[in-house]
Chain A
Amino acid sequence: MDERARAIEELYRERYVGFRNALATVTGSYESARDAVQEGFARALASRRQFRGDGSLAAWVWQIAFRAALEARGVPEASIDDVLDPQLVAPERHPSLTAALATLSPPRRRLIVFLRYFADFSYADIATACDVSEGTVAATLAQAHQALAETLEPEGALQ
């Protein structure tokens, strides 16, 4: 196995759960997210020579897995913004967080938040994964923090 394949395997072993949880907010279930992550890593492994290293490996694999998830739903790439509506898979487990996330619009902002807190992506990774600038990521997360704080902080300490 070559070095890049080993890096992809290492990424998979370390980050699988985060990828699946973040992608589940797009697919709507952990099962379909698992399929998409498996497919994404398989495609990444098969086409690893295409990775040019101009972003992180994690962001590159995420993009592939994200496309696989959309393909599984039959969503054309051109219509992503029309159908993308990331949501918590089990909103009943944290109603106030769900309510706070609902205030984030457009939906792509929620995906940035999920990538940050589920997939543990850096700002740079999110920028690459979502094809936006790091400044946009920072601004979006700052707005998200503000919106979430307004909803969540009145709750006081974590339960």
Chain B
Amino acid sequence: MTDDLLEQHFSRVENPLNDSDWLAVRRLARRPRRRVALVALAAAAAALLVAPAFGLGGRVLDLIRGDPAPTEVQTSFAAGNESRERLFEFAAAAGHELHDRFSPVIAGEARGVAAIETPDGPIYLWVAPTEDGRQCWLIQAGEDSATGRPYGGGSCDGIDRMSASTTRPSLGSSSSSKAGLESRFPSSAVTRWGRSRSRNRFTSSLLSVATPTARWSSAGRLLSEVADRFGQEGRASSTFSGWPSGLTLRIALTRFPSASITNVVRLMPMYLRPA
């Protein structure tokens, strides 16, 4: 049986209707702002749910903020793109080929979508669209006093398998010590979170959630988990005895790809293949 004959058979079951609509495709392609609005609603719901978990009399400060993120936050999102480019270059130089499933973040379109007030200061949720219509997000709990760079952690929607990240070249410190962590989060760096107890609790909460096996489907879920851990840490301990296991901490720290984003946990799934 030839290709031509088979084509004739298949032509009998084809649907010839052409219901294409290129303008609709273009409209869909320009939709990041609309998707951010959806995330805002999800984040608002998450904020309502997690507020009681703080157990600190926290209240929802501002459910939805559509305002553009400040330059420092946009810069943090953009730093992830730069970091990724460097990682690709680093891998290529080492003879590996990295395949990233995700597109760059459009840092200039980052928006504030939620904030929760706690006695120690607000926690902000910032969201930025990616070029392929996903969202990346950053949970901020303070900023660097010198540069204004946000202090917190984040990731991108759709990143739900973390195991691959342990196979890529480690570009950061593998220190599991408190000193190692402190060097990355110097106490002088946080202004809003001036009380180190709160800062330490937040960092502990974030890192305990940011494990390689964590499965996050949305910013709302991470916000919920961080808030939940934050509440637990607050009740359980105010010292470093409350840190997660050394292994978890070590792995979380090795994920910092470069100094430029040491204040932001960036988690990008990549496939590492021999060249």
Contacts and interface: CB of A to CB of B under 8 A. Distances in A.
A49 B1 contact: no
A7 interface: no
A16 B18 CA distance: 8
Given A145-B6, A153-B1, A50 B22 contact: no
B29 A42 contact: yes
Interface string A30-65: 100010001101110111011000000000000000
Given A47-B103, A94-B13, A117 B22 contact: no
B67 interface: no
Nearest to A34: B19
Contacts of B31: 42
Given A12-B20, A49-B131, A97 B9 contact: yes
A50 B81 CA distance: 13
A89 interface: yes
A61 to B, nearest CB: 11
B131 A24 contact: no
A77 B132 CA distance: 17
Contacts of B8: 158
Interface in B203-251: none
A47 B24 CA distance: 16
A118 B7 CA distance: 8
Consensus secondary structure, chain B interface: loop
Interface string B30-47: 111000000000000000
B174 to A, nearest CB: 29
Interface residues of A, number: 36
Interface size class of B (residues with CB under 8 A): 20 to 34
Interface in A85-118: 88-91, 93-94, 97, 117-118
Contacts of B10: 97, 117-118
Nearest to B30: A46
A118 B14 contact: yes
Nearest to A76: B160
Contacts of B104: 49
A46 to B, nearest CB: 4
A97 B12 CA distance: 10
B153 interface: no
Interface of A: 9, 12-13, 16-17, 20-21, 24, 30, 34, 38-39, 41-43, 45-47, 49-50, 88-91, 93-94, 97, 117-118, 145-146, 148-149, 152-153, 158
Leading 6 A-B pairs by shortest Cβ distance: A42-B28, A149-B1, A47-B132, A117-B10, A16-B20, A45-B29
Given A41-B25, A43-B132, A94-B12, 16 more contacts: A12-B22, A17-B20, A38-B21, A42-B25, A42-B28, A42-B133, A45-B29, A46-B103, A47-B103, A47-B131, A47-B133, A50-B131, A89-B13, A90-B15, A118-B10, A145-B1
28 contacts: A12-B25, A17-B17, A17-B18, A17-B20, A20-B15, A21-B15, A30-B15, A38-B21, A38-B24, A41-B29, A42-B28, A42-B29, A46-B103, A46-B131, A47-B130, A50-B131, A90-B13, A90-B15, A94-B9, A94-B12, A97-B9, A97-B13, A117-B6, A117-B10, A118-B10, A148-B6, A148-B9, A153-B1
